[in-house]
Structure 1
Amino acid sequence: MRTQSPLTGRSRSPLRRPLQALVMLFALVVGALTWSAPAQAHGTIVDPASRAYQCWKTWGSNHTNPAMQTEDPMCWQAFQANADTMWNWMSALRDGLGGQFEARTPDGTLCSNNLSRNASLDKPGPWKTTTVGNNFSVHLYDQASHGADYFKVYVSKQGFNPQTQTLGWSNLDFITQTGRFAPAQDITFPIQTSGYTGHHILFVIWQASHLDQAYMWCSDVNFG
């Protein structure tokens, strides 16, 4: 049975109303997903670049290049182990640690934030380094502008060799804990050190403000 539209006088099938409702429902669902997407995005230390970010930035658009195996063997092994580690460089987080970072992050899992999917980041080896001086800045890029309750910053001890040793808590010197930062996509703060030379690991914990979410990263630096 067909009916006429009171506005146009044209005949209209009763099947069109359910179809229109379905289309509207689909549009609402898509709109909700689009609106909530930024909450699923996070961040990392982009300078000095964290290991996953450095690999993504250098090789993300060229990750099938066989030259990576010889030019950047640590990124190569990471891509071979799990390429998703690099594609999701912004998602190295754990929920509900309650500040118990050492108790709930075993030695040898610091660079991966104890996430098995990112275990390649814990491997010792010739990771590419960023040259820094005794005083330098750390730059967080946060896609979702979560803000920070604080950052805790460590540097591997003089004499620790990132190319042959796996990082544990006893291998770190505590440098500083920052105060709070308001929500922003870019957060930068200064670091002051002394007595370091050569290749070291900069280890940063970000306690985000929006939830009890902890992010941990290793950035390889060369104190020049």
Structure 2
Amino acid sequence: MRKRLAALVLVAATTGAVLVHTGGTAVAHGSMVWPGSRTYLCYEDGRAGGGGGDLNPTNPACVAAVAQGGKQPLWDWFGNLISNAAGRHREIVPDGSLCGPTTKFAAYNLARADWPATQVQANSTVTFRYNAWAPHPGTWEQYVTKDGYDPTKPLKWSDLESVPFDKVTNPPLANGEYAWQARLPNKTGRHIIYSLWQRSDSPEAFYSCSDVVFGGGTGTPDTRPPSTPGTPVASAVTSSSVRLEWPASTDDQGVTSYRVYRGDQVVATSATNSVTVSGLSPNTDYSFTVVATDAAGNASTASPGVAVRTTDGGGAGGSCTVTYARPSTWSGGFTANVTVSNSGTEAIRAWQLVWDFPAGQQLTQAWSSTITVADGKATAKGVSYNADLAPGGTASFGFNATTTSAAPANPTSFSLNGSACAVR
């Protein structure tokens, strides 16, 4: 066993592997998406500036954060955590590090007044939305900075009001998000809403700073959601994308964004009433709906659905290539390395690679992907930093498995998002 563990460590070290899934319970991940946390809004700013490929933020504070800490924290915007916090937040997070309590996210502590901010109304009732990248039970506490807070100075614990203005345990979960209503405090001007999520099934805790600008409060909360968007119309359908347009929603305070759903999964967001959804599979039926949101976080009911069938992708193996290798095999197990390449002319978003996983084999560990095995099929999904494949792009991952076969056979066929791949 010691030899095997040593071999696994050596594989990870020599391949630069990141062990992200072990077949057990996944670690929790998430962050505030309304009002957006610094990491989330900088990620969205980077997506807009990157034109659908790389992340290239244009907001000055986000640019400064990338210059200091690189782009990986943006790809992992949902992972601002301390694994062994156990409620000891004020003990283990020093002043000046509240927004990024670990080295990886330290750049998001920069004391600046130009971080992306969400406009909110004082004293209003809003709907907080928190991404549930990996859901778990726990308690959320929301604090706000005191009157006179200076955003050009490092954030200290003493800058926060002494008690949270909002606290919730195990809020409702739907469509990949926690959502709950809260009444905002009576503040004016620029502030930070500081959110702590302490899991109840683990000592792990998550931290986020949401920059907000409070407008004058009337004392009347905005609880009215936008009207239901009109039925989307599909156009420019290709083998992997479709353009959707829909009649706009209306709202007494103004619509701020739209979310496009495929089932219960958000596949695109837009500030206007049109968007192009990418990463689809050739010759496949889809149905999309649209939800509008306003500045208070209220969400409309979903629009009627639109059915779309993508075009033929040009034949099996025409848009992807897979290389599968077993660099290490031992009695009762093996290591496999897989590289998937997008040989098409369009980006593939949220890739999923499927292959046969014979009886007698059992997954024990994976890196640079999440892999699930069911009904004799293995499905690998990209993680935050490699989930999208640009034209000509590649993603590499690996896994360890046990086997009852003395000479396990390599898979002979793979499909990427439903399209068969060439195998090398």
Settle same-fold status: TM greater than 0.5: yes
Deviation at 1:109, TM superposition (A): 0.3
Deviation at 1:38, TM superposition (A): 8.3
Alpha-carbon distance in structure 2 between the residues aligned to 1:73 and 1:58: 10
Identify the residue that residue 115 of structure 1 maps to in structure 2: 102
Higher relative contact order (CA 8 A, sep 6+): 1
* Preserved CA contact (<8 Å) 1:38 1:144: no
Identify the residue that residue 151 of structure 1 maps to in structure 2: 140
Are 2:203 and 1:212 equivalent residues in the alignment? Answer: yes
Are 2:160 and 1:172 equivalent residues in the alignment? Answer: yes
Query: Counterparts of 1:65-84 in structure 2 under 5 Å?
Result: 68=58, 72-81=59-68, 82-84=70-72
CA pair 87-66 structure 1, distance change in 2 beyond 3 A = closer
1:64-119 CA deviation, whole Å, 9 max, x = no partner? 79882xxx11000111122111110011111222211101110000000x111111
* Preserved CA contact (<8 Å) 2:33 2:130: yes
CA pair 38-198 structure 1, distance change in 2 beyond 3 A = farther
Are 2:185 and 1:194 equivalent residues in the alignment? Answer: yes
* Preserved CA contact (<8 Å) 2:190 2:211: yes
The amino acid across from 1:160 in the alignment is: Y
Alpha-carbon distance in structure 2 between the residues aligned to 1:39 and 1:190: 28
* Preserved CA contact (<8 Å) 1:60 1:86: no
Identify the residue that residue 264 of structure 2 maps to in structure 1: none
- SS of equivalent to 2:182: strand
CA pair 34-93 structure 1, distance change in 2 beyond 3 A = closer
CA pair 106-65 structure 1, distance change in 2 beyond 3 A = closer
- SS of equivalent to 1:216: strand
* Preserved CA contact (<8 Å) 1:97 1:214: yes
Are 2:41 and 1:54 equivalent residues in the alignment? Answer: yes
Gapped regions of structure 1 (runs ≥ 5):
1-32
Alpha-carbon distance in structure 2 between the residues aligned to 1:53 and 1:67: 12
Alpha-carbon distance in structure 2 between the residues aligned to 1:216 and 1:52: 11
Task: Give the structure-1-normalised TM-score.
Answer: 0.75
Q: Structure 1 or 2: larger helix share?
A: 1
- SS of equivalent to 2:108: helix
Alpha-carbon distance in structure 2 between the residues aligned to 1:161 and 1:209: 33
CA pair 35-182 structure 1, distance change in 2 beyond 3 A = farther
* Preserved CA contact (<8 Å) 2:47 2:55: no
The amino acid across from 1:150 in the alignment is: T
Identify the residue that residue 7 of structure 1 maps to in structure 2: none
The amino acid across from 2:127 in the alignment is: S
Alpha-carbon distance in structure 2 between the residues aligned to 1:66 and 1:180: 35
Deviation at 1:178, TM superposition (A): 1.7
Alpha-carbon distance in structure 2 between the residues aligned to 1:35 and 1:183: 25
CA pair 67-40 structure 1, distance change in 2 beyond 3 A = closer
Are 2:90 and 1:102 equivalent residues in the alignment? Answer: yes
Alpha-carbon distance in structure 1 between the residues aligned to 2:186 and 2:129: 22
CA pair 77-38 structure 1, distance change in 2 beyond 3 A = farther
Alpha-carbon distance in structure 1 between the residues aligned to 2:157 and 2:21: 40
* Preserved CA contact (<8 Å) 2:188 2:214: yes
CA pair 76-208 structure 1, distance change in 2 beyond 3 A = same
Alpha-carbon distance in structure 2 between the residues aligned to 1:37 and 1:121: 31
Alpha-carbon distance in structure 2 between the residues aligned to 1:181 and 1:193: 17
* Preserved CA contact (<8 Å) 1:41 1:90: no
Q: 1:137 aligns with which of 106, 127, 149?
A: 127
Identify the residue that residue 222 of structure 1 maps to in structure 2: 213
1:150-203 CA deviation, whole Å, 9 max, x = no partner? 1111001111021x1111110001313223346663111222233301110010
Cα RMSD of the aligned pairs, angstroms, is: 2.4
User: How many residues get paired?
Assistant: 186
Q: Structure 1 or 2: larger strand share?
A: 2
CA pair 42-67 structure 1, distance change in 2 beyond 3 A = closer
